[in-house]
A and B are shown apart, each in its own frame.
Chain A
Amino acid sequence: MFTETRDTGLADTASAATLIIKRSVAKKRAQVSDNEISEQTQWMLAVRDNRDRAAFARLFDYFAPRLKGVVARSGAPSAQVEDIVQDVMLTVWHKAAQFDPERAQVSSWIYQIARNRQIDILRRENRPLPEELKRPEEASQDASQIVALEQETAQLKKALARLKPAQREMVERAYLGELSHSDIQAETGLPLGTIKSRIRLGLERLRHELKEMGKP
């Protein structure tokens, strides 16, 4: 689509390209809201794309009480628990641009931020983090990919709900940092295979888009 405009000025080419991309995003976004995307994901996308404060307040009302319950398990003093909740939720606001619903559920993205902040604050150390993958700025989301990942996660939650209380307790302790690597069984028994392949697809799409964008 860039060949016809090659002879015009560079700025024109760039703005034409932006227009085309924006239009395609608007189209995709319409498809997205038509589909069954969870409320949390819609709130998070509104925060990410429109800096929507009302949507953020909803995310806060949903996640902050859960975060507080989880962080309190670490045995931190209650004042510090609220500090961590505050820090996590503000990080969600400030780092929203990195949220990619094709690769992560809102809950898993917030879980990951919460683990990082909890370690950084309680242990006063910087947790080593993998390199971040840059999300293309005008990324067009694939609604079907988002919905598929949400459906897999719903299955996972059902599996969690079916665990016997003692099993559930062990799984919670593993994911909330209460078990050491040698205490964690190689398999938790949770069905993560299809979720992994969904995420893998999301990664491949992301790599592909970034490569396309990098082309002159």
Chain B
Amino acid sequence: MTTGITHHIPENLIIAYASGALPRPFALVVAAHVSMCDECRARLTAQETAGGAILDTAETSAISDDLRARVLQALDDPIVLPERKTRRGPYPGPVMEALKGQPPRWKSLGLGTRQCIIEHGRAGSVRLLSIPAGQAVPDHGHNGLELTLVLQGAFKDETGYFGPGDLEVADSDLEHTPVADEGETCICLAATDASLRFNTLVPRLLQPLFRI
């Protein structure tokens, strides 16, 4: 758990995560933040209490005797509960899970900035970014929702200061220039539903703020 977190998950994202509606890239960021933040763990559990109350008062549908017998007979069947990955260094359990237990495989983006794409698909993308102190944080296109969770170090932009555990929520309206703070290298977990635009990277590297 990380103390001193001031930027938390908006309520609609917590509900969408609890209900399973949140696309996987964002769900990973929410799971990582909750792993670091007791405040949001309590808020998520409260939302799950509401979900439980819905389940409790839901319309029932008759269960066949066969299903009941099958479940009660299966109690002794040996099962292997998958071993959940745990935090390693700045990477919380769900991130280690997504990395399949391996350290991130970084690819250079130039100027000391590196990225490791965890997932890239129709539902959006999620990746790790490593930005040296004082460098601009690569931006992600801003076509839709963008979540950036600080795992180590800090960055700041026009909207505020984001330290370990802080989550920045941006939409297409936000024009910002995040810069990694002095001190430790800033490592972020960033998810977006916009497609990653790799091709435009190289010419833009010369700009103070580069978009990918």
- Which residues does A use to contact B, with CB under 8 Å? 53, 56-57, 60-61, 63-70, 72, 82, 85-86, 89-90, 93-95, 103-112, 114-116, 118-119, 125-132, 153, 156-157, 160-161, 171-172, 174-182, 184-188, 190, 192, 195-197, 199-200, 203-204, 207
Contacts and interface: CB of A to CB of B under 8 A. Distances in A.
Contacts, number: 214
B60 A175 contact: no
A162 B71 CA distance: 36
Given A104-B45, A186-B11, A126 B54 contact: no
Interface string B112-148: 0000000000000000000000000000000001000
Contact of B94 (A90, A106, A130): A130
A118 B56 CA distance: 17
A176 B50 contact: no
Given A66-B56, A127-B27, A130-B34, A196 B46 contact: yes
B19 A115 contact: yes
A127 B20 contact: yes
A15 to B, nearest CB: 29
A21 B24 CA distance: 42
A199 B20 contact: no
> What 4 pairs across the A-B complex have the smallest Cβ distances?
A108-B52, A107-B52, A181-B16, A65-B60
Interface string B53-79: 111111111111001101110110001
Given A94-B79, A132-B84, A57 B18 contact: no
Contacts of A89: 71
Given A94-B79, A94-B81, A195-B46, A67 B55 contact: yes
B196 to A, nearest CB: 19
A130 to B, nearest CB: 4
B42 A196 contact: yes
